[in-house]
């Protein structure tokens, strides 16, 4: 429903259609912009220093030196794992990679006309329905469920891409690390180390980002004392939108529309004249660049140099040309979805699979927030300013 927008600010009174003359106008924070709603110790996004810390560690350093498995442990437990802790987590993760038959069948029942994010969302819901500990909200049970869900999501994403391509499903390989196994299940082989590392870096960078829209959704759902799978299912719905995770898919659509680097500036001028949002640019919190982009862009450049195909080089040139034009015209910089889109394309993923890859990474952050929200819960229920009809009698 569209209503007249109340003034944003702290004007003391308002008058207008249907409002009593002296109704006080509260300060409206449209989109909750600038509002601090709670504390968190999972990650710190600092737009002033253009930095992102996971449990205190700079994400760039983690991406350069650590595995995604180690980063997942860090986000869930607050500290990097010892060798024994990592070994225990790894054993559990590898033991839960294969999808239960009911989950696999539920995915295979879904039409290939639906978006892969719908498949992810449905799969998590089915996994929850079959989990005998679904209603156990102790921190221990929540961590165990989070770990199993994280272990299963690569199989969900890979299976869905393969069935859409009419390919045989590839079973997980317990001898491979998380990233290698994910790529093995998606493509039937483990690609070169450069590709594996690029994929792993993207997973680390995508894993967590404080109170973004999908994480906040997970926290809202948790705040009602609902269960972890419901929280993740809702978060997937929030991530799907093009203003959030769906932008990595939309970036490739933009590149396809532009074609080649020499068309980027003219395309952008027309798109801005048409008041279009340019996907992969801008951010609610960072206003002078997304802290994760330099790492992911270097990773993309490494991938392009490694592949050294005409297509890869042309895509990188188009990337640079659109970024340069957008910076010059609007001063709006890329967010993480801008380099991950072309990187996933060059790795061989189908474009609609990009946002499910984000899901597979962000499930770590979401579930860390579910546990944190539950530990110090308050029902999340903001207020609104009513701007509809004044009270009237039913005729
Ligand atoms: C991993 C992630 O989820 S990162 C985000 C991924 N999303 C995208 O890439 C989608 C494109 N980007 C956007 O739509 C926005 O930048 C958002 C939604 C991410 C953040 O937006 P907000 O903080 O709400 O800022 P808002 O949309 O009000 O933008 C402020 C101004 O910059 C403009 N602007 C911001 N981003 C863009 C963009 N990508 N293209 C064109 N203009 C933009 C707006 O039009 C607005 O201009 P105005 O003041 O003249 O009206
Ligand atoms: O923080 C945000 O609003 C969006 C984002 O970059 C993310 O979720 O990674």
Burial class (CB in 10 A: 0-12, 13-18, 19+), 236: buried
CB 215 within 8 Å of CB 349? no
Asked if 283 is an active-site residue, the reply is yes
pLDDT at res. 7: 41
Residue holding tokens 């308050």?
378
Q: Is the CB of 335 under 6 A from ligand 1?
A: yes
CB 77 within 8 Å of CB 199? no
Ligand nearest to the CA of 248: 1
Nearest one of 209, 208, 192 to 306, comparing CA atoms: 192
CB 11 within 8 Å of CB 3? no
Which residues approach ligand 2 with their CB closer than 6 A? Answer: 209, 212, 283-285, 335-336
Q: Give backbone dihedrals phi and psi of 23, rounded to 5 degrees, phi first.
A: -65, 125
The tens-digit pLDDT sequence of the chain (395 residues) is 233 344 444 333 444 444 445 666 789 999 999 999 999 999 999 998 889 999 999 999 999 999 999 999 999 999 999 999 999 999 999 999 999 999 999 999 999 999 999 999 999 999 999 999 999 999 999 999 999 999 999 999 999 999 999 999 999 999 999 999 999 999 999 999 999 999 999 999 999 999 999 999 999 999 999 999 999 999 999 999 999 999 999 999 999 999 999 999 999 999 999 999 999 999 999 989 999 999 999 999 999 999 999 999 999 999 999 999 999 999 999 999 999 999 999 999 999 999 999 999 999 999 999 999 999 999 999 999 999 999 999 99
pLDDT at res. 21: 52
Give distance in angstroms: CA of 326 to centre of ligand 1.
12
CB 76 within 8 Å of CB 146? yes
pLDDT at res. 287: 86
**Would you list the DSSP string of 257-278?**
HH-SGGGHHHHHHHHHHTT---
CB 304 within 8 Å of CB 313? yes
Asked if 209 is an active-site residue, the reply is no
Give distance in angstroms: CA of 236 to centre of ligand 1.
21
Give distance in angstroms: CA of 53 to centre of ligand 1.
23
DSSP strand pairing (19-23 vs 14-16): antiparallel
342 three-state secondary structure: helix
pLDDT at res. 356: 99
pLDDT at res. 25: 78
pTM, 2 dp: 0.95
Catalytic residue, candidates 283, 290, 316, 345:
283
Q: Among the residues of the chain, which ranges form H helices?
A: 59-65, 68-77, 83-95, 101-109, 116-129, 139-164, 178-187, 193-206, 213-223, 228-240, 247-258, 264-273, 293-307, 310-330, 337-347, 354-375
pLDDT at res. 386: 95
């Amino acid at each position: 429903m569209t209503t007249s927008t109340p003034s944003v600010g702290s004007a003391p009174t308002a008058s207008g259609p249907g409002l009593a003359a002296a109704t006080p106008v509260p300060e409206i924070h449209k989109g909750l912009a600038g509002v601090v709603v709670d504390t968190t110790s999972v990650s710190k996004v600092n737009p002033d220093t253009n930095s992102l810390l996971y449990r205190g560690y700079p994400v760039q350093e983690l991406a350069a030196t650590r595995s995604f498995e180690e980063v997942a442990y860090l986000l869930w437990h607050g500290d990097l794992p010892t060798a024994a802790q990592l070994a225990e987590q790894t054993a559990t993760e590898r033991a839960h990679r294969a999808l239960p038959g009911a989950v696999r069948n539920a995915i295979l029942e879904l039409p290939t006309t639906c978006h892969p994010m719908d498949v992810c969302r449905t799969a998590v819901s089915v996994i929850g329905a079959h989990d005998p500990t679904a209603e156990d909200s102790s921190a221990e049970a929540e961590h165990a469920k989070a770990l199993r869900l994280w272990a299963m999501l690569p199989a969900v994403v890979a299976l869905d891409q393969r069935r859409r391509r009419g390919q045989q499903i590839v079973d997980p390989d317990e001898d491979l690390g998380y990233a290698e196994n994910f790529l093995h299940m998606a493509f039937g082989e483990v690609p070169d180390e450069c590709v594996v590392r690029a994929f792993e870096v993207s997973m680390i960078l995508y894993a967590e980002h404080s109170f973004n829209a999908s994480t906040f959704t997970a926290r809202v759902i948790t705040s009602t004392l609902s269960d972890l799978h419901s929280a993740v299912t809702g978060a997937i719905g929030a991530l799907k939108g093009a203003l959030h995770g769906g932008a990595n898919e939309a970036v490739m659509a933009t590149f396809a529309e532009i074609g080649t680097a020499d068309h980027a500036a003219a395309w952008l001028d027309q798109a801005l004249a048409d008041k279009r949002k340019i996907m992969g640019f801008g951010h609610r919190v960072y206003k002078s660049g997304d802290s994760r982009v330099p790492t992911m862009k270097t990773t993309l450049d490494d991938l392009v140099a490694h592949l050294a195909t005409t297509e890869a080089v042309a895509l990188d040139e188009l990337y640079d040309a659109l970024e340069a034009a957008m910076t010059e015209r609007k001063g709006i910089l890329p967010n993480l979805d801008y380099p991950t889109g072309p990187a996933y394309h060059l790795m061989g993923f189908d474009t609609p699979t990009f946002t499910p890859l984000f899901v597979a990474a962000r499930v770590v952050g979401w579930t860390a927030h579910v546990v944190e929200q539950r530990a110090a819960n308050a029902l999340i229920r903001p207020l609104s300013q009513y701007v509809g009809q004044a009270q009237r009698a039913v005729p």
